[in-house]
């Protein structure tokens, strides 16, 4: 199934656990350090540097780009590392997450509760996945280098629905 980004609630409802999906459109990147800053901002009532409404976050810290590419290897990070920092972002309207590996039962329940989706991408294939990224722009936390929040444009980016908006999980 081909899906255009940003996600919509209607599209998310159509996705089913185990389904192969090709994503095209803008995605945000963020890992542990960026998540910590976002959650700290939410907790202190500060305005976020990005709007999370209907966005998808790819858990990735891309390698520096070789001269002839827009990005270096861009493979998924283990999503469970973001579990304790995810729910506040879902409450701010985040609709999609891309990572690798299982999520906690608390996050699987939150995916159902907030009617969003968790996708997995192929770990160990960062150089191959980078071929599906055509643009990169740093949006926030530039001091975090590869872990800064970036907007990337992905084209036919292959993922699998790991937890759908009904709570069905590949890992259950």
What residues are annotated to the active site?
35
User: Residue 158 and residue 164: Cα distance in Å, rounded?
Assistant: 16
Residue 135, strand partner residues: 153
- Helices marked H in 26-155 — which ranges? 32-43, 83-91, 105-113, 126-130
Residue closest to 27 by CA, chosen among 161, 167, 169, 149: 149
């Amino acid at each position: 199934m081909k899906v255009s980004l940003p996600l919509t609630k209607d599209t998310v409802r159509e996705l089913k656990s185990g389904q192969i999906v090709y994503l095209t459109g803008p995605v945000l990147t963020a890992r542990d350090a960026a998540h910590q800053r976002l959650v700290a901002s939410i907790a202190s009532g500060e305005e976020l540097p990005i709007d999370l409404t209907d966005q998808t976050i790819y858990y990735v810290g891309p390698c520096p780009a070789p001269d002839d590419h827009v990005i270096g290897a861009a493979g998924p990070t283990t999503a469970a590392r973001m579990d304790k920092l995810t729910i506040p972002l879902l409450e701010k309207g985040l609709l999609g997450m891309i990572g690798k590996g299982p999520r906690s039962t608390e996050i699987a329940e939150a995916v159902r509760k907030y009617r969003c989706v968790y996708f997995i991408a192929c770990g160990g294939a960062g150089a191959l996945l980078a071929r599906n990224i055509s643009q990169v722009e740093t949006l926030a936390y530039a001091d975090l280098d590869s872990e800064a929040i970036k907007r990337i444009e992905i084209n036919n980016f292959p993922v699998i629905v790991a937890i759908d908006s009904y709570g069905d999980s590949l890992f259950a």
